[in-house]
Amino acid sequence: MSELETQTTNSEKNSQKEWPDLAGCLRGDSHVLPLRVYYEDTDFSGLVYHASYIRWCERGRTDFVRLIGLNQKELFEGADGASRCFFVVRHMDIDYLKPATMDDVLEVETRVAEQGTASMKIAQEIRRGDTVLFRALVTIVLINEKGRPVRLTEAIKEAFFKKEA
């Protein structure tokens, strides 16, 4: 491991200690990421711009993967002699239900809805309190450097589907 990689890894560990909820939290089989709507997230009308919801869902999926113990950088680099692979979005079904506005405090909830051989469907909701504003069903696929699907490894399945005692 290079000095820069060691510094980056140490920095990630330190930030998790200093800001334990920075990446949200796991609740049962879901991940919840809190966020606040800023001016930059809105359009000229003062409502949240449609692409902001997609960006927040990406953050939710990324932090979900982080908190269940998978390191996407290691997957991409082929750590421990494994083949280099990474997750990509294959398909999204999205539904904008109600608008959010500046200063709203929202939660992005992320959970695995279905597992395939090389893919998963991830269900996501963005809420303001008990009100669901946005829903997405996102199909992600694990692929190799050549863009071909790769079977989900036992370690990946175990990370996504381990049950809390």
Catalytic residues: 43
Answer yes or no: are the C-beta atoms of 42 and 102 closer than 8 Å.
yes
Q: Looking at the chain, list the stretches that DSSP marks H as alpha helix, in order from N- to C-terminal side.
A: 3-18, 50-67, 72-77, 154-161
DSSP symbols for 62-100: HHHHHHTT--HHHHHHTGGGPPPEEEEEEEEEEEE-S--
Amino acid at 104: D
Q: How many CB atoms lie within 10 A of CB 158?
A: 13
Backbone angles phi, psi at 138, to 5 degrees: -115, 125
Backbone angles phi, psi at 87, to 5 degrees: -90, 140
